[in-house]
């Protein structure tokens, strides 16, 4: 009797320990899966030498501000555990070296950015730009999203709300992007284009070149992205 009892006990404890181990392994695997499952975000710093983009009243080149904010945004998103793909990290556009004319460079650059969208396995494309207008008093944010991914509209709205709240920048209606914009026409992933302010407005230009202001902007965009994917 005692021997049977002992065997039953051994079997019982073996089963309990095995179950606990299984549960622990399952938990660790699910944690690992969660860590690896954070979304991949493409950050697109608009323009790039020789295409400077808009030029400010004080001579600020849009490409420089775009890159600076994009780098800051990448840092915050990576800190939050997102995987980040940058279309450019240097001053130059990402055109093929064989291009000789500005026109060729521009086309090649656009195709290269589209190719990153197609091939990086990303969940979202965020393009950072600055605005410019003939009316020098125009100011504030203009956030657009790709028409073929309307599900992304709440994120576009949230980006505007958060940036406006932290920077005090003026807001405008969040709209679908103009389809004449090559990268926003039919992007293979949901795409957002953030015009973060007007370089043609001297006061806004001054803010947009300020490192603290850029950091606030980047932080607000990252917070909106994090909330959207929670
Ligand atoms: Zn631009």
Domain boundaries of the chain, sorted by first residue: 1-37, 39-228
Confidence of residue 16 (pLDDT cuts 50, 70, 90): low
Mean pLDDT over residues 125-148, rounded? 97
Confidence of residue 30 (pLDDT cuts 50, 70, 90): very low
Q: Which residues contact 139 (CB under 8 A, 6 or more apart)?
A: 169, 170, 197, 198, 201, 203, 204
Q: Which residues contact 123 (CB under 8 A, 6 or more apart)?
A: 39, 40, 41, 189, 190, 229
Ligand 1 centroid, distance to 48 Cα (angstroms): 10
Distances (CA, A) of 79 to 73, 83, 222: 10, 10, 10
Q: Give me the residue label for tokens 């190719």.
A: 115
Confidence of residue 4 (pLDDT cuts 50, 70, 90): low
Percent above pLDDT 70 for the chain: 84
Ligand 1 centroid, distance to 212 Cα (angstroms): 21
Ligand 1 centroid, distance to 32 Cα (angstroms): 39
What local confidence, expressed as pLDDT, does residue 18 receive?
66
Ligand 1 centroid, distance to 16 Cα (angstroms): 62
Is the CB of residue 141 less than 8 Å from the CB of residue 171? yes
Ligand 1 centroid, distance to 24 Cα (angstroms): 50
Of 33-42, 62-71, 213-222, where does mean pLDDT reach its minimum? 33-42
Ligand 1 centroid, distance to 195 Cα (angstroms): 7
Ligand 1 centroid, distance to 183 Cα (angstroms): 12
What local confidence, expressed as pLDDT, does residue 29 receive?
46
Tokens representing 23? 């549960």
CATH number among 3.40.630.40, 3.40.50.300, 3.40.630.30, 1.20.120.530, domain 39-228: 3.40.630.40
Ligand 1 centroid, distance to 105 Cα (angstroms): 16
Confidence of residue 156 (pLDDT cuts 50, 70, 90): very high
Ligand 1 centroid, distance to 131 Cα (angstroms): 6
């Amino acid at each position: 009797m005692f021997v049977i009892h002992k065997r039953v006990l051994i079997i019982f404890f073996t089963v309990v320990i095995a179950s606990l181990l299984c549960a622990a392994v399952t938990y660790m695997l699910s944690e690992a899966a969660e860590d690896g499952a954070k979304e991949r975000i493409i950050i697109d710093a608009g323009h790039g030498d020789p295409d400077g983009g808009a030029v400010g009243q004080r001579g600020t080149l849009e490409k420089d501000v775009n890159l600076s904010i994009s780098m800051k945004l990448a840092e915050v998103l990576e800190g939050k555990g997102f995987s980040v793909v940058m279309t450019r990290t240097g001053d130059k556009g990402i055109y093929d070296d064989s291009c000789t004319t500005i026109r060729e460079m521009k086309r090649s650059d656009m195709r290269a950015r589209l190719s990153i969208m197609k091939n990086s396995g990303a969940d979202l494309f965020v393009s950072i730009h600055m605005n410019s207008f003939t009316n020098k008093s125009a100011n504030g944010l203009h956030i657009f999203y790709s028409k073929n991914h309307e599900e992304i509209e709440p994120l576009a709205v949230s980006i505007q709300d958060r940036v406006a709240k932290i920077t005090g920048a003026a807001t405008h209606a969040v709209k679908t992007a103009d389809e004449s914009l090559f990268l926003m026409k039919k992007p293979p992933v949901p795409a957002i284009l953030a015009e973060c302010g007007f370089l043609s407005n001297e006061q806004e230009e001054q803010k947009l070149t300020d490192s603290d202001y850029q950091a606030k902007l980047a932080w607000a965009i990252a917070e909106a992205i994090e909330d959207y994917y929670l």
